[in-house]
């Protein structure tokens, strides 16, 4: 689904003046509640040692340590970061995870598969328990199981992809217990053999999003080039609920260009004349504001900035808005020298400013989807983005491990690949 922040009112939405540069944890939206902070934490070196009942509400975690979430546990003094390029830090026995003794020069055995157990408590307003409340994880290396109030909610892997769970049936008045079990390695790790330091844990924002009985589940803005300075916009929304209307407002800065009202989520078409196109040198953006109205009034507001651009390849030449361009690009890892994979908005801004100062016009998100805030910031500051799915299988190319049925040639792995591609593309 599209990355979006729902608001309860237009005034809330407008209070987030620069939402693209505002961490989700600082949003003015009353529909978002951050779960970032210090969580209780326990780490063991292999799955057989993990606590099996830690997700129970009355479990005694008083002896456990505290760890900041989001973070990588290796950057908090637990276990060790592992640098590897084209080989797996665990035994190469897909799809199974087995130890690889003595991987590092010091002879340490890092491949047994450490397991981190996390616990935290939170409370929500009473009406959040009666409607839809979504638990959002921005990224977890490498696989996780989730419980709320002692009840199993679900499982996720695909480390750099968003994972969301509907936890409405599990909420209760007062304190709620959230427990997450994180495996350092999973069968998904065979698709995550990127050239980088290998770290683990809940490393991106965790928050709750609350929706009313009528809400936008997903929405799309699709600009299509007609001729120079002329575009058509197709806009549509996937709405849950009935008896509603949608008000779309298209703006350039503070100027309202057009307002469209529809009683369905079907695709609407609007012709935009005298269009100002987006480029990395001139990152001109338009804004779509959406109001969802039901029989009680405003059910939800959201907004999204977007650029107008036409991309074609003719022969071996890339044309952007009918102009041949050259890419001066860099690879970018989500990496901070102190926090590992966890990057703040300020970290991203520092990197973007360095790119712009060095006349870089494009960035490749090597080798996985970044935090969505990075994509939004690239739109605003002017960088062409090559977004990548979280797929790299270097390890099976080595020595006797390569064979015609190895991962990329094996249809049993097909849905693992497509899951990551879909999640990257649709977001």
pLDDT tens by residue, the chain, 427 residues: 778 899 999 999 999 877 665 666 678 999 999 999 999 999 999 999 999 999 999 999 999 999 999 999 999 999 999 998 888 888 888 899 988 766 554 444 455 899 999 999 999 998 888 789 999 999 999 999 999 999 999 999 999 999 999 999 999 999 999 999 999 999 999 999 999 999 999 999 999 999 999 999 999 999 999 998 999 999 999 999 988 999 999 999 999 999 999 998 889 999 999 999 999 999 999 999 999 999 999 999 999 999 999 999 999 999 999 999 999 999 999 999 999 999 999 999 999 999 999 999 999 999 999 999 999 999 999 999 999 999 999 888 765 555 655 788 888 999 999 999 999 998 8
Residue 248 Cα to chain centre, angstroms: 26
What SS3 state is found at 423? helix
Predicted confidence at residue 102, as pLDDT, reads 61
| Helix (H) / strand (E) containing 93 | none
Enter the pTM of the model. 0.94
CA–CA separation, 71 and 338 (whole Å): 10
Nearest residue to 77 via CA among 193, 199, 194, 189: 199
β 362-364/329-331 pair status: parallel
DSSP state string for 168-223? GGG--SS-EEEEEEEES--GGGGGB--SEEE--EE-S-EEEEEE-SSEEEEEEEEE
CA–CA separation, 206 and 35 (whole Å): 5
Predicted confidence at residue 400, as pLDDT, reads 55
What SS3 state is found at 140? strand
CA–CA separation, 84 and 82 (whole Å): 6
Please give the torsion angle defined by the CA atoms of residues 199, 165, 416 and 89, in that order, rounded to the nearest 10 degrees. 20
Handedness of CA 139, 145, 150, 153 (dihedral sign): positive
Predicted confidence at residue 399, as pLDDT, reads 54
* Contact criterion met (CB below 8 Å) for 262 and 268: yes
Helix axes 345-357, 372-381, angle to 10 degrees: 40
Handedness of CA 375, 377, 379, 381 (dihedral sign): negative
Task: List the Cα angle 56/135/214 in 5-degree steps.
Answer: 130
CA–CA separation, 33 and 171 (whole Å): 14
Which neighbouring-strand residues pair with 292? 246, 300
Task: List the Cα angle 194/196/198 in 5-degree steps.
Answer: 90
Predicted confidence at residue 101, as pLDDT, reads 65
């Amino acid at each position: 689904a599209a990355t979006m922040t729902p608001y309860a009112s237009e005034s809330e939405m407008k209070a987030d003046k620069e939402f693209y540069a505002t961490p989700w944890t600082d949003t003015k939206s009353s529909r978002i509640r951050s779960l970032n902070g210090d969580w209780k934490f326990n780490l063991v070196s292999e799955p057989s040692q993990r606590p099996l009942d830690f997700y129970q509400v009355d479990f005694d975690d008083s002896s456990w340590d505290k760890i900041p979430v989001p973070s990588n546990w290796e950057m908090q003094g637990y276990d060790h970061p592992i640098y590897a390029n084209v080989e797996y830090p665990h035994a190469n026995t897909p799809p199974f995870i087995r130890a690889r003794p003595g991987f590092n020069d010091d002879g340490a055995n890092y491949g047994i598969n450490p397991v981190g157990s996390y616990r935290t408590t939170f409370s929500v307003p009473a009406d959040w328990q009666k409607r839809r409340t979504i638990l959002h994880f921005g990224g977890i290396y490498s696989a996780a199981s989730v419980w709320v109030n002692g009840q199993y909610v679900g499982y996720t892997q695909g480390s750099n992809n968003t994972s969301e769970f509907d936890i409405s049936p599990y909420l209760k008045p007062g304190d709620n217990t959230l427990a997450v079990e994180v495996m350092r390695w999973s069968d998904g790790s065979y698709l995550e053999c990127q050239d980088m330091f290998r770290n683990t844990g809940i490393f991106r924002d965790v928050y709750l999003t609350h929706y009313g009985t009528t809400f936008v589940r997903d929405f799309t803005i699709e600009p299509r080039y007609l001729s120079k300075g002329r575009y058509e916009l197709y806009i549509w929304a996937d709405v849950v609920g009935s008896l509603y209307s949608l008000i779309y407002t298209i703006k350039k800065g503070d100027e309202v260009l057009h307002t469209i009202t529809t009683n369905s989520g079907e695709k609407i078409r609007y012709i935009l004349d005298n269009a100002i196109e987006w480029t990395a040198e001139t990152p001109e953006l338009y804004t779509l504001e959406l109001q969802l109205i039901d029989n009680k009034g405003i059910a939800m507001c959201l907004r999204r900035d977007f650029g107008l651009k036409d991309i074609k390849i003719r022969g071996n030449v890339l044309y952007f808005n009918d102009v041949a361009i050259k890419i001066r690009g860099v690879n970018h890892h989500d990496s901070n020298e102190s926090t590992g994979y966890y990057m703040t908005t300020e970290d991203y801004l520092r990197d973007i400013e360095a790119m712009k100062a060095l006349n870089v016009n494009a960035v490749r998100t090597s080798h996985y989807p970044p935090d969505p805030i990075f994509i939004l910031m690239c739109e605003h500051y002017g960088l062409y983005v090559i977004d990548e799915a979280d797929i790299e299988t270097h390890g099976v190319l080595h020595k006797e491990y390569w064979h015609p049925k190895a991962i990329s040639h094996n249809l049993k792995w097909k849905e693992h690949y497509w899951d990551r591609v879909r999640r990257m593309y649709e977001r």
